[in-house]
Structure 1
Amino acid sequence: MYERVLVPTDGSECAAAATDHAVAIADRFDATLHACYVVDTDAVAHAAPELSLDDLRETLREEGSAATAAVTERAAAAGVETTEVLLDGVPEDAILDYVDEADIDLLVMGTHGRQGLDRYLVGSVTERLVRRSDVPVVTVRGD
């Protein structure tokens, strides 16, 4: 049923909970687990304009490599094959492009449980992907 499962990660506890589910699903279906991290320099550049874009991009790429390596480590412990990828751009767009390029069958993502006005004004990457994805999306709530 599933041959390629994608788990986007930001290295958070919520992403780790999603990783556990993604590993279990990939193991059950003998699927390859794809771990991705999106380098979204635009969002951070607005928050910290004093940083150079190159330094910011390098810092985020290092953070992304550590986050995807953590997914690979968890998957390896279960005997699940992984592919790590760092993407650039707007998170939901970059993830959806990768879903198409890599022929992903299932997307597994953590939620951050946003509530109130912030949820309606800003939304979340997970929520936007649930609405836009052509493949099934499993959402996992963090502790």
Structure 2
Amino acid sequence: MYDAILCPTDGSAGSAAATEQACGLAALTGARVHALFVVDEGIAGADEWDVVVEREEARGERVLDAVAEAAATRDVECERRLRRGRPHEEILDAAADYGVDLIVMGTHGRTGIGRFIAAGSVAERVVRYSELPVLTARVSE
């Protein structure tokens, strides 16, 4: 059913729930998990770029470690990926680059006005533009 599953993560509770889903599905189907952390290029100004990117890449490595550990507990092969760019674009590009069959990602589960304040969430954009199936794991606030 699935040979490769992309699991974008940002270390949030929603991402942790998605990691559990991705690793569980991979264990059932024999798929490989591609754990992805995207350093958002829009997070810093030019004068602080190097410091912020270095900090985010270090955080990304820790977050990817958590996905790799979750995969290892289920005897699932996991490849760690760190990319830079606009998160939704990098997730969609990674899905194509790594030949995945499914994207499993977290969502914050915002409703009402909170959804509009956080307009254009990464998960929402991925769901909207992906040509692949996308499974979202929701965590209520």
| TM-score bracket relative to the smaller structure | over 0.9
CA contact (8 A) 1:6 1:108 kept: yes
Larger deviation, residues 115-124 vs 78-87: 115-124
**What amino acid sits opposite 1:135 in the alignment?**
L
Q: Secondary structure at the match of 1:108?
A: strand
Partner of 2:75, secondary structure, is coil
The Cα offsets for residues 69-96 of structure 1, whole Å up to 9 and x where unpaired, read as 1000011011000000001100000111
1:1-143 → structure 2 map (5 Å cutoff):
1-42=1-42, 44-45=43-44, 49=45, 52-120=48-116, 122-142=119-139
Identity across aligned pairs (percent)? 43
Uncovered stretches (5+) of structure 1, i.e. residues with no partner: none
Q: What's the TM-score, normalizing by structure 2?
A: 0.93
CA distance in 2, matches of 1:51, 1:115: 36
Q: How many residues align?
A: 139
Alpha-carbon distance between aligned partners in 2 of 1:102 and 1:88, rounded to the nearest angstrom? 16
- Distance (whole Å) between structure 2 residues aligned to residue 141 and residue 119 of structure 1: 13
| Deviations 1:92-129, CA, capped at 9 Å, x for gaps | 00111111111110000111012223424612110111
Ranges in structure 2 where 5+ consecutive residues have no aligned partner: none
TM-score normalised over the length of structure 1: 0.91
- Does the residue aligned with 2:38 lie in a helix, a strand or coil? strand
Pairwise CA RMSD of aligned residues? 1.5
